[in-house]
Amino acid sequence: MNISVTVNGTEHSAVVEPRLLLVDFIRSKLKLTGTHIGCDTTSCGVCTVLVDGTPVKSCTYFAVQADGRSITTVEGLKQNGALSPMQEAFKEHHGLQCGFCTPAMMLVGTALIADNPDPSEDEIRFGISGNLCRCTGYVNIVKSIQAAAATTREGASQ
């Protein structure tokens, strides 16, 4: 099938098998390997990308479903060549260890604070509960998202 998908601002047209998963389209066809695969069953969330701004687990979403939509992967988080507040916060607050869940966590965090600019700790914990991390105990992920929310609010008020 023919699809046309905008990924990180660039439009891509491709002919794909109907069964091709979005994550394989992103990784194998577009060579964007920052989106990972961890469980194949929509459980761990390391394959999360934003589809029209909404987090979607791309291991159980067909590439053809993304036809005509706009996708953001971790490679699209930088803004005008600079790290986004979420990326800066993960680095500053030790929000990652092995790095495997990190792209997805940052994307979910980005969507979360776009929706709720001043989330409580509980709201963050609930908001990222579709994404697993085995390294951090989530402590510094939560802290990073809080910090990114604060920076973003400050940026918006200036």
Partner 1 sequence: MTATMHEPKTSPEIGGLGHSRRRVEDARFIEGRGHYVDDIELPGMLHMAIHRSPVAHAKIISIDTSGAEAVEGVLAVVTGELLAQYDLAWMPTLSGDTQAVLATDKVRFQGQEVAAVIATDRYIAEDAAELIQVEYEDLEPIVTPQRALEDDAPLIRDDKEDLESNLCYTWESGDKAAVEEAFSKAAKVVALETFYPRSHPAPLETCGIVADVDSATGQATLYMTSQAPHAHRTVFALVAGLPEQNIRIVSPDIGGGFGNKVPVYPGYVVATAASLVIGQPVKWVETRTENLISTGFARDYYMKGELAVDGDGRILALKVDMLSDQGAFFADAQPTKFKAGLFHIVTGSYDYPAAYVSTRGAYTNKAPGGVAYRCSFRVTEASYLIERLVQNAAYEIGMDPAEFRSKNFIKPEQFPYTTPTGFVYDSGEYEKAMRLAMEMVGYHEIQKEREEARQDGRLVGIGMASFTEVVGAGHGEDYDILGLKMFDSAELRVHPTGKAILKLGVRSQGQGHETTFAQIVAEELGIPASDVKVVEGDTDNTPYGLGTYASRSTPVAGAATAMISRKLRDKAKKIAAHLLEASEDDLEWEPGKFFVAGDPDSSVTIQDVAFAAYTNPPPDLEAGLEGVNYYDPPNMTYPFGTYIVVVDVDPGSGQWKVRRMVAVDDCGVRINPMIVEGQIHGGLAEGYAMSSMQYITFDETGNCIGSNFSDYLIPTAWETPRFELGETVTPSPHHPIGAKGVGESATVGSPAAFVNAVIDAIRHLGIDNIDMPVSSDRVWAAMEQAKS
Site membership for partner 1, residue 3 (CB under 8 A) = no
Least CB distance to partner 1 at residue 91 (A)? 5
Cα separations in angstroms, 95 against 36, 54, 64, 91, 136: 17, 22, 33, 6, 7
What are φ and ψ of residue 67, in 5° steps? -55, 130
Instruction: Give the residue, chosen from 14, 64, 132, 150, that forms a contact with partner 1 under the rule CB under 8 A.
Output: 132
Q: Using CA atoms, how far apart are residues 127 and 77, in angstroms rounded to an integer?
A: 19
Binding positions for partner 1, 90-129, rule CB under 8 A: 90-92, 94, 96-103, 106, 124-126, 128-129
30 lies in the binding site for partner 1 (CB under 8 A): no
CA–CA distance, 79 with 68 (Å, rounded to integer): 23
- With a CB cutoff of 8 Å and minimum separation 6, the contacts of 15 are 1, 2, 3
Q: What angle do CA 50, 142, 103 make, to 5 degrees?
A: 35
Site string for partner 1, 31-50 (x = CB under 8 A): xxxxxxxxxxx-xx-x----
The neighbouring-strand residues paired with 72 are 50
The residue among 17 and 68 lying less far from partner 1, judged by its C-beta, is: 17
Nearer to partner 1, 73 or 152 (CB): 73
Q: Is 137 in the site for partner 1 (CB under 8 A)?
A: yes
- Residues at the site binding partner 1, with contacts judged by CB under 8 A: 17, 19-20, 24, 27, 31-41, 43-44, 46, 73-75, 77-78, 83, 87, 90-92, 94, 96-103, 106, 124-126, 128-142
